[in-house]
Amino acid sequence: NAGVTQTPKFQVLKTGQSMTLQCAQDMNHEYMSWYRQDPGMGLRLIHYSVGAGITDQGEVPNGYNVSRSTTEDFPLRLLSAAPSQTSVYFCASSYSYGSQGAYEQYFGPGTRLTVT
């Protein structure tokens, strides 16, 4: 299994440009999520999905869009990049959460994004 894969590894954008960060998992996990990691702030949840066709906002959703058309893929879209979105982005997946219990998340290697 490849686990959780993310592309690209590095990206430089100019203010106002748009792009999509790709995330895919081959573990048939229902739950997928996007985080951003900033120095001194840990990881903050941007958006998450509990299954195909179902997404919801996390702690810092502004400026980001997501969709989940398949179980495997969960892309993150930046519609108009801003310098404040310079960060390292991690995608993660796990078995579904809820009343059955919480499961550990598997993280991708990350995408380092710089917006100038």
Binding mask 4-33 for another protein (x = CB under 8 A): x--------------------------x-x
Of 17, 27, 58, 95, the one binding another protein (CB under 8 A) is 58
Distances (CA, A) of 100 to 23, 31, 32, 33, 40: 26, 13, 17, 19, 33
From 1, 27, 3, select the one nearest 110 (Cα to Cα): 3
Q: Applying CB under 8 A, which residues contact another protein?
A: 4, 31, 33, 35, 40-45, 48, 50, 56, 58-59, 90, 92, 97-99, 101-102, 104-110
